Structure 1
Amino acid sequence: MKEPGTGEGPATAAVLVIGDEILSGRTQDANTHYIARYLAEIGVDLREARVVPDEAEEIVVALNALRARYTYVFTTGGIGPTHDDITADAVAAAFGVGIGEDPRAIAMLRERFTEEELNPARRRMARIPDGAELVRNGASKAPGFWIGNVIVMAGVPTIMQSMMDTVGPQLRSGARVQVETVDAGSIPEGSYAMKLEEIARAHEGVSIGSYPHFSAAGIRNQIVLRSRDAARLAVAGQAVRALLAELSAQAS
């Protein structure tokens, strides 16, 4: 099992989105996009994202698979006050630990709610797996938690983002991936696909992809190069631009 802050090479991550509302299309998932951009800024590679329903068995299976594979797993959703908020229980089951009302979490909730307002439903948000550290959130006070290499956060974007700001400085960061985008214009992908593959193979440490962009002006293609090594990125970028220049000359 990979633990936070350990291991060699870039830290890796996965996002596990929990919620029937995402799968039904009722709610659009904005959290994965935010987490991906946040992690890219600090040099953590987001490698996988999954969406599972509010079913304990599904959550446990997915969580155990992801936490065995990546440095960090971020979950979003299912830690609110209603009966279908079962993420905390599922995480406890995945780790094989108990779960109960945490006095530290109750103290955080009291920063927002009076004793009268702190009813049984709201107290559900203070149920934390044994051994977990709390993740404070400045938006609503109800905490997330961090156990092993799993960071459990809310599904509401503003609250999740507050939690991400709390845990972000504690993550094992690395060199940021640098990105170069080369506009291929209206040159069809089929015209450069084979040569682009040759360039990709010849430049180790550089990821190269081609992405069509559809607009009112028609289809335009962009070639995106990514690398943690600025020198390698520059050389590969030159090769891509040379290829496109050659194709443009042939077409004119």
Structure 2
Amino acid sequence: MQSLFQISRHCRRVDTVGKHLVMAANNVVTNSKTEPTVGMIIIGDEILKGQVKDSNSHYLCKRLYRLGVRVKKISVVTDDLDEIANEVKEFSAKYTHVITSGGIGPTHDDLTFEGVARAFEEPTYHHPELVKLCGKFFGTTDVTSPKLKLALVPKSAKTNYGINKQTGEQLIYPLVSVRNVYVFPGVPPLLERAFDSLDELFLNPGTIFHTKVVYIAKDEVSITPILNQVNDRFKKDVILGSYPDFYNSYYKVKLTLESQNMEKLSEARQYIEDHIGKEQLVDYDPHPLEDASERIYRTIEGSGTDPLDIKIKSAIRTIEECIEKYKLSEVCVGFNGGKDCTVLLHLCYAVIKKKYPEFNDKIQSLYIRRGLPFPELEQFIEKGVKTYNLDSISLLGRIRDSLGELKTSHPHIKAVLMGTRATDPYSEHLKSFSMTDADWPQFMRVSPILDWSYSDVWTFLRRFSLPYCILYDRGYTSLGSMENTHPNPKLAWRDEKGITHYKPAYLLEDWHTERDGRN
């Protein structure tokens, strides 16, 4: 069966390539360049009113780029028949493919099919095949029913049935196309499923876009002369993009280099390194969670002698021991947004994904809020909860009282993983596994990074490009509440105007002064 499925897919691919060759010969679009293009039309008042966020164009642009197809223009139009028709007519004449999204359904403002018909001066009719399918879905083939509006399409409409690439089965409902216009639904999951099953319709077999991304520590203004040189030297073969980021903790400018010529692309990349300076290039991973387990466990393989690698290995073993002793439902991870528990959270995430690859539930986390928290810290915690898919238990008050509340509200929790280090106040006596004191609510305190230093924490965070609270880039080295926390004076410096600034926390040289910003 699998071999038949593969043969079927190869046949479909050959057929697709053949269609592209025919299209290249017969397409009404006149373009000196042979590479196919796409014009995208997003339809819906709700998009223009800001009531719904358009994620479809972002998804389609990424997928089409990988297929070797360049998106030339994206237009968002209202639910207006003339606007839809005019845009479709213009796009169809300009681009190899036109993709529409939205405006399909039974209501008065679902006008896409009618708009496409008007663009090509065609009548609409109830397509027999679609009427039959609507009858199966809605239980009626009465063409006067609003539900049958889904079957009312332009006269020359074609039906394109996608193939589920996991099962090899044909999808039940087709995608409708009219000439070079493909009419996709507006609901993101439906659009994505349809495109995934029919992406070979848009495949450009002769084009591969090679891309390199370079992250620069300098600001854009200071490297502009070099960027101009790169563009002048390589613009025939390489497209250069420059994107400043004023809030990233790792780099200031992201450069993208794109070309169909891999050799020229490498030359442009080397030119940038030679002229900006290798020391200004940042080794940055924009998606640190995608391969978190693989990267962390690769670090601890073998008998490495790097002191931090040894500590990472020890921390991993402690976390593994914890989730071997306790069920995941009996464990929660302390996450209050600080640098130490950010390290802990990432380590726990990596271990859980390694040991339980099928685990898709939320990881339990604990946040005990004390005093007046920084808004930036609260925002970072909220972002971390989403990024790491946490079930956050948020409690307010003193630690002892909050643990008592946790014992009452979540009696199944037996162990709390903590980002405590031995240099923290009252922590020098702790071991990797330590029960709370007898007169406290009883929990096993698990401290995987107990022996880590301030420098270890920052080396780990930045080695793996992990996001951290923005306050650390403003000179804060230890975070408490707004009442008792200030930038560390050891990181202060003055500019030529006498204005005081603070270097980021990872540049603190004497870790003994870590808490100098705390009252």
Q: TM-score, normalised by structure 2?
A: 0.44
Alignment partners' CA distance in 1, 2:118 and 2:197 = 25
The within-5 A match list for 1:199-214 is: 199-203=230-234, 204-214=236-246
- Correspondence list, 1:68-147, <5 A: 68-115=93-140, 120-136=145-161, 143-147=174-178
Q: Distance in 2 between matches of 1:101 and 1:116?
A: 10
> Any stretches of 5+ residues in structure 1 without a counterpart?
none
Structure 2 unaligned residues grouped into runs of 5+: 1-19, 26-32, 165-169, 281-519
**CA contact under 8 A between 2:160 and 2:175: conserved in structure 1?**
yes
**SS of residue in 1 equivalent to 2:153:** strand
For residues 129 and 4 of structure 1, the distance between their equivalents in structure 2, rounded to whole angstroms, comes to 23
In the TM superposition, 1:156-167 aligns within 5 A as: 156-167=187-198
Q: Secondary structure at the match of 1:66?
A: helix
2-structure distance, mates of 1:146, 1:28: 25
* 8 Å CA contact 2:226, 2:276 repeated in 1: no
Shift of 1:162: 2.1
Distance across 1 between alignment mates of 2:248 and 2:199 = 39
Q: Which residue of 2 aligns with 1:66?
A: 91
Identity of aligned residues (%): 28
Sort the Cα spacing of 1:22 and 1:49 in 2 relative to 1 into closer, same or farther, 3 A. same
Q: What is residue 35 of structure 2 aligned with on the other side? A: 10
Greater strand share, structure number = 1
- State the SS of the aligned residue for 1:222: strand
1:26 is matched with 51
The worse-fitting range, judged by mean Cα deviation, of 31-40 and 117-126 is 117-126
List per-residue Cα deviations over 1:80-122 (Å, max 9, x = no partner).
Answer: 1111101100100001111011011122223433238998121
Out of 59, 64, 68, the position equivalent to 1:39 is 64
Distance 2:142 2:22 in 1: 36
- Distance change (3 Å), C-alpha of 1:232 and 1:164: same
Task: Tell me how far apart the structure 1 counterparts of residues 23 and 192 of structure 2 sit (CA, whole Å).
Answer: 21
- Tell me how far 1:222 sits from its aligned partner: 1.2
Decide which moves more: 119-128 or 93-102. Answer: 119-128
Q: Which has the higher contact order (CA 8 A, sep 6+)?
A: 1
Q: CA deviation at 1:42?
A: 0.9
- Greater mean deviation of Cα atoms: 219-228 or 19-28: 219-228
Q: Which residue of 2 aligns with 1:154?
A: 185
**Where does residue 456 of structure 2 map in the other structure?**
none
Q: By how many angstroms is 1:246 displaced?
A: 7.7
What is the CA–CA distance in structure 2 between the aligned matches of 1:34 and 1:143, rounded to whole Å?
20
* Distance in 1 separating the partners of 2:85 and 2:141: 34
CA distance 1:247–1:219, shift in 2 (3 Å): closer
Residues 6-63 of structure 1: per-residue CA shift (max 9 Å, x gap): 1662111011000000000111101101111111111011111010000011111211
Distance, in Å, in 1 between the alignment partners of 2:196 and 2:130 is 18
Aligned mates of 1:171, 1:79 — CA distance in 2: 21
User: Counterpart amino acid of 2:222?
Assistant: S
Q: Given that residues 182 and 241 in structure 1 are in contact (C-alpha distance below 8 angstroms), is that contact kept between their aligned partners in structure 2?
A: no
- Give aligned pairs, total: 246
Please say if 1:189 is aligned against 2:220. Answer: yes
3-state DSSP of counterpart to 1:128: strand
Which segment is superposed worse, 161-170 or 116-125? 116-125
Q: CA RMSD in A?
A: 2.7
